[in-house]
Amino acid sequence: MDSVYCHANWAQSLGGISFPLLSDFNPKGAVAASYGLYLEQAGITDRATVIIDADGYVRHISSVTPSGERDLAELAGLCEEVAEGYRGDLPPVETPPGLEGKLELYVKSGCGFSKAVLLARDNLHLEDRIETHNVSEDAAALSVLRDLTGKEQAPCLVVDGRPMLESQDIIRHLVTRVTGWWTPEK
Amino acid sequence: MLAVGSKAPDFKLQDHFGREVTLSQFQGKRHVMLLFYPLDFTPT
C-alpha cells in the first residue's frame, strides 16, 4: 500500500494525523470506475487524485499513471486553493480530545486482531506514546496480562492500569481521541 | 476521467478502522481529497 501524507490543514480536519484507507473492492474498482479511473485492460486503478469541494463537485482531477509518483506539496497547495476559493461556511473543525494516561499495549504473535491494533498504532504515530509488549515473546508481560485480566487474551490496551480488550474497542479508543474521526453520528 | 466541475459520484465503502464512509457524509461539512492507487495485492 502507498503511505501517502497530505499536510494540508483541511485534509487533516478529515482525520487528524491519519486518514482512512477505503477498500474499493466489492465489486472490484467500482468506485474508481465511476470516476473514470479504472484501467480495465490492466485490471487496476490509476494512481490518481481527486479533490472534491464541500458541495460535492470535482475541483481537481489528475493522474500520475500507476507507476508515477504524486507531488504531495503541489496537491496540498491545490487543496488550499479549493478551500480558499470556496464560497460558503463550513462547520468549525473540532479539536480531537487527545490521549490521556499511561498506555500499555499487550499483543501476541500470529494474531490478526493484534496486527490490526498495531496498524492503527503506527498509522496514528503512537509508537512512542504507547508501551507495547508482545506476550508471545515476553513471559513477564504475559504474567502481567494474566494478573490484570485473569486471562491471556490479546490484544489488550491498558489505560492507567485499566484493561480494555477487543481490538475494535481499542482501535476506536485510539482513533477517536487522536483524530476525532470515529465519532458518534450527530 | 471525470471533468472538473462535474458532480462527484457518491460511494459507500469501509475504511480500515471498520467504519463505513460515504462521500455524501461530507456534504456541507468538509472538502475531500481522494487518492486512488493500484491494488498491489489481493485481500483474502
Residue in A7, A17, A21 to test binding to B, most B beta-carbons within 10 Å:
A21
Final residue before a domain boundary, out of A58, A85, A112: A85
| Interchain contact A104–B (C-beta under 8 A) | no
**Which of the two residues, A173 and B40, has the higher pLDDT score?**
A173
Q: Is residue B5 part of a domain?
A: no
Q: How far is A90 from chain B (nearest CA, A)?
A: 5
Please state the rounded mean pLDDT for residues A41-55: 93
pLDDT confidence of residue B42: 34
State the Cα–Cα distance between residues A74 and A157, nearest whole angstrom.
Answer: 39
Q: Nearest chain B Cα to A39, which residue?
A: B38
Query: Nearest CA to A63 among A41, A82, A44?
Result: A44
Is there a single domain that holds both residue A119 and residue A175? yes
Q: Per the structure, how many domains does chain B have?
A: 1
pLDDT in tens, A62-92: 999 998 888 988 998 999 999 999 998 888 8
Domain extent at residue A80: 9-85
Q: How confident is the prediction for chain B on average, in pLDDT?
A: 83
Q: Which residues of A touch B1 (CB under 8 A)?
A: 35-37, 46, 48, 61, 63
Is there a single domain that holds both residue A81 and residue A107? no
Helix orientation angle between A167-179 and A112-123, rounded to the nearest 10 degrees: 10
Whether the per-residue pLDDT at A2 is higher than 60: the answer is no
Final residue before a domain boundary, out of A85, A119, A137: A85
Percentage, residues of chain A above pLDDT 90 = 53
Domain extent at residue B17: 13-44
Q: Is residue B33 part of a domain?
A: yes
pLDDT confidence of residue B41: 46
pLDDT in tens, A8-47: 333 333 333 356 778 887 788 899 999 999 999 998 999 9
